[in-house]
Structure 1
């Protein structure tokens, strides 16, 4: 494996912030904290194989909205003195019936400013395009506006952008978990590759093929949609109505800077 250091200099202290996207939901691994792996773990493993000084923390918790991410994760992240930070936040807010995106993104911008002031390389993400999803179609206008505000923050704060919105590969359902809300293991593997590419880090991660999904008849599709509504969409809506979160009771996977691969991750 050949891996370039970031220019200028190598990074050795990576902290990942966010929600289920960064925690790794959809990429199950019972040997790891919270039972998931995810693109950030995969990226950290790749870098750690050639950099013995590399350390990684992942503070992301599934279900967290932007305010909770800032309130719970920002100060612990700064205290770790990272030289690389990734942040994806706001998607859980966009999915609520009402959201003030302008107010939301003012808080986001202030958090990114704090991270940028540490001197760390800050990596941000646009929201996914969801072109193939009828469930998300009514919200695409919100996602597009959110993305424009993210791009403004990137320009204002000198951050690095991973443009998830323009990744057409994710129109293939094989890169999504059966819950249709989170990336599959193949989707997380592809995202790890995408982030490394944006950072200019050479690697030998292959392009993962999408998971094979069976072709369904119309009757089978209706049945699959009903099962998805009962098993995934229904519980998601119930949590929203009752004010609960899928992340209730969970702690960050790696709250401190950790050598990677760890015994649980190897």
Structure 2
């Protein structure tokens, strides 16, 4: 199997940081789970870059993924989350771009998994606006997947992921437990006997004034500043695995989603 992932920070793995400063994320975990299930090495590439809008994902990452040699057998696609957070977004245009990507992947004979991003809106400024836009995009994605008969993973509708325990301190990106859960949802959709990863339930943290002020200072204001300057967190970045890397099965007894 040769698995390639395209997308933005959600697919790159932001929020699931490693000790060396890199990131892991659900796509890496899916590659490991596929290797564990088959007992053989999986070739894996990840072209996702944080901050990318849907246009470059479709026009740059998808062609690069399909041009890999040898060709991929599985591709996961997610995009549009960064577009939804911008004023004046055109939902119709997002779906035109997504359908263009779906058509290219299907015509290439590559198995495609469309994935809706998880819903961060409960704890975000202007969260209701983000949720409304994302809900419409998710509904359109589900219909598109049905029309092309491709696999669809609806992480947006997963209510377990609404809990704060699954999110990183910036409240926009999943934390390690969230990435583990999405990986388990994808593997299950691919037909593997994987229980949905979950953390023990606990009370939602209370929002305190000083903590909220610190959140805005450390996360919201820098994000606003970058966008006012026309910059992105992904500027000058490239995908973390732009060519095939082998992912070997985990040792016996180890959890593939650990």
Which among 222, 233, 250 is matched to residue 235 of structure 1? 222
* Cα shift at 1:52: 2.3
2:181 match = 190
* Cα shift at 1:212: 7.2
> Which SS does the other structure have where 1:35 is aligned?
coil
Label 1:109 to 1:51 Cα distance change in 2 as closer, same or farther (>3 A).
Answer: same
* Cα shift at 1:215: 4.0
1:3 match = none
Could you tell me which runs of 5 or more consecutive residues in structure 2 were left unpaired when the two chains were aligned.
250-257
> Which SS does the other structure have where 1:56 is aligned?
strand
Which among 156, 181, 193 is matched to residue 202 of structure 1? 193
Farther off after superposition, 137-146 or 62-71 = 137-146
2:151 match = 160
Please give the alpha-carbon distance, in whole angstroms, between the structure 1 residues aligned to 2:28 and 2:146: 27
- Per-residue displacement from partner, 1:9-63 (whole Å, max 9, x unpaired)? xxx01000000000000000144xx710001101111222344242110000000
CA contact (8 A) 2:5 2:46 kept: yes
Asked if 1:20 is matched to 2:44, the reply is no
> Which SS does the other structure have where 2:44 is aligned?
strand
Please give the alpha-carbon distance, in whole angstroms, between the structure 2 residues aligned to 1:223 and 1:25: 25
Could you tell me which runs of 5 or more consecutive residues in structure 1 were left unpaired when the two chains were aligned.
1-11
CA contact (8 A) 2:27 2:183 kept: yes
Q: What TM-score do the two structures reach when normalised by structure 2? A: 0.88
1:139 match = 130
Computed over aligned residues only, the root mean square deviation of the Cα atoms, in angstroms, reads: 2.2
> Which SS does the other structure have where 2:123 is aligned?
coil
Q: What TM-score do the two structures reach when normalised by structure 1? A: 0.85
* Cα shift at 1:131: 5.8
